[in-house]
Amino acid sequence: MDIKEHVVSAIDPNEYNDTKNIDIPPMLIDQIIGQEDAVETIKKAAKQRRNVLLIGEPGIGKSMIAKAMAELLPPEDLQDILIYPNVENPNNPLVGVMPAGQGKKIVQNSKEQFKKQESRKNTLTIAIIALIMAIGFITNQFLTAIIAVGIVFFALYQIKPKNQQLAPKLLVNSENKKVAPFIDATGAHAGALLGDVRHDPYQSGGLGTPAHERVESGMIHRANKGVLYIDEIGTMDMKTQQELLTAMQEHKLQITGQSDTSSGAMVRTDAVPCDFVLVASGNLEVLDGMHIALRSRIRGYGYEIFMKDTMEDTPENRKKLSQFVAQEVKNDGRIPHFSKEAVAEIIKEAQRRAGKKDTLTLKLRDLGGLVRAAGDIAIEEGANEVTPDHVFEAKKQARSLEQQIADRYIKQRKEYSVYSNEGSKIGCINGLAVIGNSSGIVLPIAAEAAPSQSKEEGKIIAAGKLGDIAKEAVQNVGAIIKKSIGTDISNYDIHIQFVQSYDGVEGDSASVSMATAIISAIEDIPIDQTMALTGSLSVRGTVLPIGGATYKIEAAAESGIKKVLIPASNVNDVLIDKKYVDQIEIVPVHTLIDVLEHALVGPKKDAFIKSLKEKEEQRK
């Protein structure tokens, strides 16, 4: 494999502009990068007011698409919602709906009328008090007059709250809104989402706040005629999802107290309009927690969209990424513009993070973090614009937690000789693993084969915190070894140790490493310690593709490893940084025999490999 073909390619900065010279489209829908299919679907959904379910990796623009959809909805349909007192049944407030901007006028008119009434009442009160005091002065009954004034004042004061109860409450105000509302209800509890009625401990005796004044709008009501966005919708309580489904179907929902022990539970309004478009999102796992009927409603009356996390590496898409950098600078508002050379470096990083040749990453939230970090460094240095040096420094400083942990693992394991990157050892191998989504580490694996203590059969004993898939991979190794080398491992007790794997092992990408370590232990043939490897194994001994090939290779290079074996099907996924070109050799492998041929060393190797190939030919 020619490693130079799998290095992040050089990019000519002259093909791009400084971000201050890049035009940014005014519409949010035109600022979305790399999701052309999703954009077209969203445009159709907005036109027909269809619900949408967006599925994809975090940070690829799901919330941005939802906001863009709100811009596409007609703002002229917006409404104000008022809550009126119900004289006949105070615990059942009435609902009034009117065009945007009218609700505030009605409330103001009501307040002005009450002010006039209050003014007339005050004038009347002063006149009555003056008359009583005058009569008391004439009749010389001052004490009686004072008592009478107190009675009159108290009586008139008691009339005040009754008058005020007639004023409506503006529940949803849509005045002066230029676009349809966008409400992000991610993580909202039932009261915030569906509306609530405040508890009033003074409700008895006529001293409390009127019921209609205690009604609070929910996010579904504030999203009326707009977009309600809920990320990770599968984490929402099932009862709340059922209420949400009702609101979607009926386009209205009554507001009542969400706590059964609160006085608000006695209050239930008329149905309040909530004619929203639901945009729900999450990853594939979120579907397990979704209410079946809710998802069916979206699928039957809307669209499900699986969003991309990479796009083709073309000149046009590179231009779009340069526009993305300009958008991030503008949206942040606190960092300087990027030079065209710095823009080119961001595009190169998008190539590397894609994890596949000839593609660019669409995990733009993480890429945006790099843009802001580079801008912060430029500000700290007092620079007028961001340069490539600022981007390089940002890549060092703005590392993810997983990258920091991986770097620490590599350093500690070097210091304490947890793994070896020179010489050869029997039963010891340098596996490779990924932490998070973008950081690789060396995963040392040790195997020991001892005669079986059981008269019936031997066992495979794996030490380490293994996930379900990793446990299944361990069990499959026995069948793979028996088929590949013809040795029945039931005569052995096989001990496998994932050295210092405190965070556990998930997936089956260590299958090829385990099989190689066990074969080394059984056949007493050393393994080259200057080499590391990764790959899953089929029960037929074929090396299957894995994830994170680029990050694993770079971790091996950082650890002083000289050669890495990867599945041949992962070759096009490799796109490493230029600095690793002279540090490491990459070898694609197809079968377990290919792996053993590169991994094993010593005088027994050649005869062993020859016998394996002869057996393979006989099976064919």
List residues with catalytic annotation: 509, 552
Which residue has 């990924």 as its token pair? 434
For 331, half-sphere exposure in the C-beta direction (CA atoms, 13 angstrom radius) is 17
- 403-407-411 Cα angle (round to 5): 170
SS3 of the chain: helix, strand, coil, percent, to 5: 50, 20, 30
Structure tokens at 184: 């992000």
CA distance 6 to 603: 34
- Do the Cβ atoms of 278 and 248 come closer than 8 Å? yes
DSSP letter, residue 602: S
Beta bridge partners of 105: none
Beta bridge partners of 494: 449, 460
337-375: buried (b, 16+ CB within 10 Å) or exposed (e) per residue? Answer: bbbbbbbbbbbbbbbbbbbbbebbbbbbebbbebbbbbb
Helix H or strand E encompassing 575: none
Structure tokens at 50: 């269809």
**What is the distance between the terminal CA atoms of the chain, rounded to a whole angstrom?**
28
- Strand order of the β-sheet with 302-306 is 182-184, 227-231, 277-282, 51-55, 302-306
- Do the Cβ atoms of 243 and 253 come closer than 8 Å? yes
CA distance 246 to 271: 12
Q: Reduced to 3 states, what is the DSSP secondary structure of residue 547? A: coil
For 191, half-sphere exposure in the C-beta direction (CA atoms, 13 angstrom radius) is 14
Structure tokens at 97: 């709906």
| Contacting residues for 271 by C-beta, under 8 A, at least 6 apart | 95, 250, 252, 253, 254
| Contacting residues for 201 by C-beta, under 8 A, at least 6 apart | 208, 263
Q: What is the dihedral of CA 381, 383, 387, 390, to 10 degrees?
A: 20
**What is the chain's alpha carbon radius of gyration, rounded to the nearest angstrom?**
35
Q: Which of 71, 52, 264 is nearest to 180 (CA)?
A: 71
Q: Is the dihedral of CA 234, 237, 241, 244 positive or negative?
A: negative
Q: Which of 319, 402, 305, 282 is nearest to 51 (CA)?
A: 305
Structure tokens at 119: 């003014």
Neighbours of 328 (CB within 10 A): 21
- Do the Cβ atoms of 220 and 247 come closer than 8 Å? yes
- Do the Cβ atoms of 106 and 171 come closer than 8 Å? no
Structure tokens at 303: 């669209």
Q: Which of 503, 516, 490, 477 is nearest to 594 (CA)?
A: 516
CA distance 596 to 478: 16
Strands 302-306 and 51-55: parallel
- Do the Cβ atoms of 291 and 241 come closer than 8 Å? yes
Q: Which of 315, 306, 408, 325 is nearest to 19 (CA)?
A: 325
Structure tokens at 581: 């070109």
